[in-house]
Amino acid sequence: MTKKTAIARIETGVRNLDALFGGGLPKGSIVVIAGPPGAGKTILTQQICFHNASARTRVLYFSTLSEPTAKTLRYLNQFDFFDAGKIDGGIQFVDLGAILRTKGLDGAFRLVMDHVKKVKPSMVVIDSFKVFDDLAKSKEELRKFGYELAINLMAWETTTFFLGEFGQSDIETNPLFSIVDGLIMINQRQESGEQRRVIQIVKMRGTDHSREEHSFAITRAGIDVFAPRFTIHRAAVEGKEPRLKTGISRLDELLGDGIPRGSTLLIAGVAGTGKTVLSLEFIYRGAKAGEKGIFFSFEESEARLRATARGLGWDLDAEIERGMVEIVFIPQPDILVEGHLLMISERILGMKARRVVVDSVSVFLHKVRDPQVDREKVFQLASVIHNAQAVGFLATDIPYGTNQISRFGVEETVVDGVILLSSTEEGLERQRYIEIYKLRNTAHLRGRHSVLIGPGGLIVYPRYNAEAAFGEPPPPLDTARRLPSGVPGLDGLLGGGLLERSVTLLSGSAGIGKSTLSMQFLLEGCRREEPGLYLALEEGPAQLIRTAEALGLPLQEAIEKGLAEVIYLSRERVRPSQFLSLLTDKIRTQKTRRFVLDSVSHLAAEGIAEDELRQLLYALITRFKALGVTTVLTLESSAMYSSETVTDRRFSPVADNLVVLRYTPMPGEIRPTLMVVKTRGSEHDFGAYHFIVGKGGARIGRRADLGAPLAAKNIERRRRTKK
């Protein structure tokens, strides 16, 4: 069997054009380059000629437009591909205009062939071939002229270009197109508010070429073909590198094991939710950790982004100076989607960036009206990032008043993850939230989480902890390890004290002594060198210290020794959804062993939904148990006397121990009464006991006889009925 010989190819010197031909232009082909005036036919051909012209590869460039060579060269001099040293020695310009006017097609044919025989060129150009249509007396004469010229040039093994202002009707009727090997159509048209130049290889014998239209631009370098659809492909890259940690405050807690390398995330939200700040911090934190990042901005200039960073306390200028960060600003009117796609790819690979931001993709694609094209371009962006094994953040604006999670409604189907930023009006303020809507191949925390923007950047407050979502549950309570409550007489009722790491709920009527019992619990730990934290939601530290002094409780002394801390959190300063993160940091820093939250009722009064509050408490308790903390929660009951309802909002399941404090009516007075309703993992006293609050705090007194109080209540009820 005879081995087949591959067709030799010629490099065009035009970016991406060789790829569209499937490896270059077939050598010896006769190619028509057609298009309207000003489309770029001449520049394309001259670029190919200058790229190939040399002493061994001669080029003959015939002009039928009677344009002086000096004018042609002056025009060519503005392009980078022009090389004056190649004139005459490599490329020779010949004017056919004069001989066409005097001797017609036959004279032009003889002149062309005389120069071909003399120069022996590798390439021949006739610009413009359309002139022959006007001079030919019939289609038969034109066909004969074209056929003879083609056969003779083929005999000399030249690669030939015929340029002309041919349209679709010419292709269908002109006999030239049945002779030539290739046809390249160049056009320009108004599209989505801008002039768009396109090139299409309609025909090219001997090649498996692209048949689609591809955008191009005419720049100082010459013709620049973009063709991202043909040149950007998603490569098969094995993800062996560790996952990326953003370095942004607690955002990594939401992202589980981190973002897989090669992933693209959509950063979606309405205006003002923090997309640019999040994206900029993503780049900045990466640079500080030794990862190069590039920020493509279509909205904010580099100067404004630098100023934003300085306002947040980041030294982004230093990272730019040392080459860790690049900011590329493209003003919105200058956007050329396919051209800038190619630029983005080259800049990422050139910098070897590991973090990429496009802010925003909705502005980048704002002129595109076809959702399928939007989807395709986002996929190409994602492919560029994937191939570089970087991680990309693509910001997108969500239209107001819709349920969309992207501007065009298709981006989320292409990317690997979506981070939703939102804001809601709560009271007189607008509060920000963040949600990991999706992240492929990653177990992430779900739901909305509070976020603040301030000095230092984004502060994320996960509303529940990663351990609860992904890790093992905290170990069971050890019934052999008991902690004294600090309240005389209470430990006996509890079966020996509070279990270590347990949660106790004090449900009490207003003013009955819940805070006092909580302080005694905390101070007992301080006496045993167990650091304690008291979180007050109603009274400030000064008021609590004054109350403790009046009762003779050494709270101030414990604070001065560093064994106790009292903090007050108001709604103006912090929201309940931020408690988990704030308190976790405090507990870890101070190695807290005992914690008091006074009171849960204040959280309920802030308008939090019952299920949301219960989930928050469960998250707090789970985290505290995992950290080895024993906790007391106070809850105010709306019932002053009745103990039939332990808690008003069904919080009982979150607690290991339930202690109910109620008033008992007695003849001429009411007395505080305490009952242990539940202790997990141990027996307890089910009786009701009076207790007294005085110097030294609260102490348990004698067992209450509820028969007399109940009779007194019945007498009082009958007396009121008679009235």
Read off the pLDDT band of 672 (50, 70, 90).
very high
pLDDT of residue 466: 53
Of residues 262 and 464, more confidence is placed in: 262
**What is the percent of the chain with per-residue pLDDT over 70, rounded to a whole number?**
90
Q: Could you report the per-residue pLDDT of 483-535, keeping only the tens digit for each?
A: 999 999 999 999 899 999 999 999 888 889 999 999 999 999 999 999 999 99
The answer, yes or no, to whether residue 471 has pLDDT greater than 60, is: no
pLDDT of residue 711: 46
Highest mean pLDDT among 247-256, 279-288, 432-441, 630-639: 279-288
Q: Is the Cα torsion angle 400, 401, 406, 410 positive or negative in sign? A: negative
Res 723 pLDDT > 50: no
pLDDT the model gives residue 625: 85
At residue 588, the pLDDT reads 87
Of the given ranges (121-125, 127-131, 659-663), which has the lowest mean pLDDT? 127-131
Measured distance CA(661)–CA(508) in Å, rounded:
4
CB 132 within 8 A of CB 65: no
Question: Listing from the earlier edge strand, what are the strands of the sheet with 564-568?
Answer: 564-568, 532-536, 594-598, 630-636, 503-508, 657-666, 669-679, 688-694, 697-703
User: Which are the contacts of 169, defined by CB distance < 8 A and separation ≥ 6?
Assistant: none
For residue 710, what pLDDT is reported? 46
- 482-717: CATH, from 3.40.718.10, 3.40.50.620, 3.40.50.300, 3.30.70.330: 3.40.50.300
Looking at residue 346, its pLDDT comes to: 92
- Contact predicate 277/312, CB 8 Å: yes
Tell me the whole-structure pTM to 2 decimals: 0.75
On the question of a common fold for 9-231 and 482-717, the answer reads: yes
pLDDT band with cut points at 50, 70 and 90 for residue 3: low
* Interval 333-360 mean pLDDT: 91
In the predicted model, what is the mean pLDDT of residues 80-102? 87
How far apart are alpha carbons 572 and 554 in whole angstroms?
Answer: 30
What is the third-level CATH fold of 9-231?
Answer: Rossmann fold (3.40.50)
688: three-class secondary structure by DSSP: strand
Tell me the mean pLDDT in the region 666-677.
Answer: 88
Residue 504: its pLDDT value, please? 93
CB 463 within 8 Å of CB 619: yes
Q: Side by side, which strands form the sheet with 59-63?
A: 91-95, 59-63, 123-127, 159-164, 30-34, 182-191, 194-204, 213-219, 222-225
Maximum average pLDDT range among 88-92, 534-538, 546-550: 546-550
b/e for 710-720, b at 16 or more Cβ within 10 A? Answer: eeeeeeeeeee
Compute the mean pLDDT over every residue in the chain, rounded to the nearest whole number: 85
Position 722 pLDDT exceeds 70: no
Indicate whether 612 pLDDT > 50: yes
Q: Measure the N-to-C terminal CA separation of the chain; round to a whole number of Å.
A: 122
The pLDDT of residue 469: 47
Whose tokens are 């010197």? That residue is: 13
Which of the four pLDDT bands, split at 50, 70 and 90, describes residue 645? Answer: low
Q: Which of residues 545 and 705 earns the better pLDDT score?
A: 545
Domain extents in the chain: 9-231, 251-462, 482-717
444 burial via Cβ count (<10 Å: 0-12, 13-18, 19+): buried
| Bridge partners of residue 297, in order along the sequence | 329, 359
Whether residue 468 contacts residue 619, with contact meaning beta carbons closer than 8 Å, is answered with yes
Q: Per residue in 378-423, pLDDT tens?
A: 899 999 999 999 999 999 998 887 778 777 778 888 899 999 998 8
Least confidently predicted of 52-66, 87-101, 113-127, 163-177:
163-177
Give the model's confidence band at 607: pLDDT under 50 very low, under 70 low, under 90 confident, else very high: low
pLDDT higher than threshold 50 for residue 177: yes
Among 86-90, 131-135, 669-673, name the one with the lowest average pLDDT: 131-135
Q: How far apart are CA 391 and CA 655, in angstroms?
A: 43
**Model pLDDT, residue 431:** 82
Can you spell out the DSSP letters for 428-453? TEEEEEEEEEEETT-----SEEEEEE
Average pLDDT, integer, range 75-97: 89
Residue 572's pLDDT band (cuts 50, 70, 90): low
CB atoms closer than 10 angstroms to residue 666: 15
Cα–Cα distances in Å, from 425 out to 429, 430, 447, 551?
6, 4, 18, 43
pLDDT at 170 over 90: no
Burial of 707 (0-12, 13-18, 19+ CB in 10 A): exposed
Averaged pLDDT for residues 434-453: 87
Sequence length of the chain is: 723
**CA–CA separation, 251 and 434 (whole Å):** 9
Matching residue, tokens 């802030």: 606
187-212 mean pLDDT? 84
The predicted pLDDT at position 180 comes to: 86
DSSP string, 80-146: TT--GGGBTTTEEEEE-HHHHHHHHHHHHHHHHHHHHHHH--SEEEEETTHHHHHH-SSHHHHHHHH
Helix (H) or strand (E) holding 458: strand 457-461
pLDDT band at 715 (very low <50, low <70, confident <90, very high): very low
pLDDT at 150: 85
| Superfamily (CATH H level) for 251-462 | P-loop containing nucleotide triphosphate hydrolases (3.40.50.300)
